Chain A
Amino acid sequence: MSDTQVYYLAFLVKLLVVFTLAVGLVPILVYAERRVSALMQFRWGPNRVGPFGLLQPFADMVKLLCKEDLVPERASKVLFTIAPALTCIPPFLVMSFIPVAPSFALAGREMKGVVVDSPVGILLLLALSSLTVYGLAIGGWASNSKYSLLGGLRSSAQMISYELAMGISVLAVLCVSGTLNLSEIIYRQTQFFGYDAQSGNWAGWNIFAQPLAFVIFLVAAFAETNRLPFDLPEAESELVGGYHTEYSSMKFSLFFMGEYIGMVGISSVLVVLFLGGWHFPGMNSLGVQPGTLPFTLLGLLVFLAKIGVLLFFFIHVRWTLPRFRYDQLMRIGWKVLLPLALLNVLVTGAVVAGS
């Protein structure tokens, strides 16, 4: 094989690895969610299908595939069908912009640890994460059911409110890192804590330079993925199922896939922006040569470990905190997070511009 063929083959492998990562984490998360919630409530959780119930998500998937695909009589048929796809596709695409590993040399070229190395990565991530709103709003409206409509409206209002705080908290990170490219942002966080010896710029993890932005982004991340304590769009005790009340079979589970991949995506963004990406302290003294395949795999493992911790946090919070009331939710978003985020940007700007 020529060098070019090797390169493209490796690219295909990388594409499939990222795709498998996005799809494969869904059953793992579903299983983890059910087992952790069971643990926290002194129950067993799924433990019958396969060893430790590990095959439960696959059994569920087969069951959902074989269910009847019901479309309500009065629903708008076309919109009803494309809404689940609209919620599910953007989180998938988010994963293609995430640099999950450092790059390595292959066949005389640089193989990057990211599918799409965009120079405006952050803007695309913010745009994609707001596209999810369309799926929920359209799904809620097209069902022609009162609960669905309310759920769809609530979720769109909630998501756009928290997206503001999220976008503005990212601004503060940009003041520190000075680039929109996600790989570049990771390369600027080489140390755990400290300044770059030559340029004098911050070179530690951004969470230490921007703790407030991290907290704002984290809270907004919960709201963006419709997770408790912000799961008002689908508040079971008030709205039956919210925007997916009328959905059945695989359409229903596409909404869930979208939510879970969205969690993976937003955790990855948190890791990239604030937690140093695939860096960890002492990584360079392990004796693995940077720029080689083993180093890339090591970086991938570190990245997975970090999003694993964040995903566990997501699940833990869901089974710990009660749900907010809708007026409280809007108050936190507009009257607390938004002014705090703006203030944070200005203070960061003053410090960076003054130095």
Chain B
Amino acid sequence: MLMFAFQQTSAVADHVPLLPYLLIVLGLVAALLTLPLLLGRKTKNAVKSASYECGVAPKGSARQRFSVHFYLVAVLFILFDIEAVFLFPWALNIQGLGLAGFVEAVVFVAVLGLGLGYAWRKGVLDWQ
């Protein structure tokens, strides 16, 4: 069904209308970004252009180390997102694939489920 749709119409031609739409959107955003430069006040002083820390003078840089948890979550995300991408063709053709296809999908999900279980046990998903 999907392959048929691809053969009938050029996939590129379907997306051409995005171009004028994108131009309108870019125009609006560019206008909104430049207008305040023309209309707004321009006064500068050291305190005003310092970064905001609730009124206290900013101490040190904000470019410091942060929790490794964020990296772990990102890695897990990539794993499971790729899993979802692999499952899309299966979900589309499920009626033609029948029981054999379903069993393969179950095995595939189970392997990744094991991975999730491992991360779970290791405490990757717990915050403090």
Contact = CB atoms under 8 A, between A and B. Distances in A.
A309 interface: no
B36 A65 contact: yes
Given A15-B21, A171-B84, A175-B91, A160 B106 contact: no
Interface residues of B, number: 74
A84 B32 CA distance: 11
A19 B25 contact: yes
Given A93-B25, A178-B92, A349-B105, A15 B20 contact: yes
Given A65-B39, A72-B51, A144 B63 contact: yes
A89 B26 CA distance: 8
Interface size class of A (residues with CB under 8 A): 35 or more
Contacts of A148: 51, 62
Contacts of A143: 51, 62
A254 B5 contact: no
Contact of A15 (B1, B6, B17, B88): B17
Nearest to B39: A66
Contacts of A326: 127
27 contacts: A15-B21, A64-B36, A65-B40, A67-B36, A67-B40, A69-B40, A74-B50, A74-B51, A88-B29, A119-B5, A119-B9, A120-B11, A143-B62, A144-B63, A168-B87, A178-B1, A179-B2, A253-B32, A254-B33, A338-B116, A346-B105, A349-B102, A349-B106, A353-B95, A353-B97, A353-B99, A354-B99
Given A73-B50, A81-B33, A84-B33, 7 more contacts: A65-B35, A70-B49, A96-B18, A148-B62, A157-B74, A161-B77, A246-B52
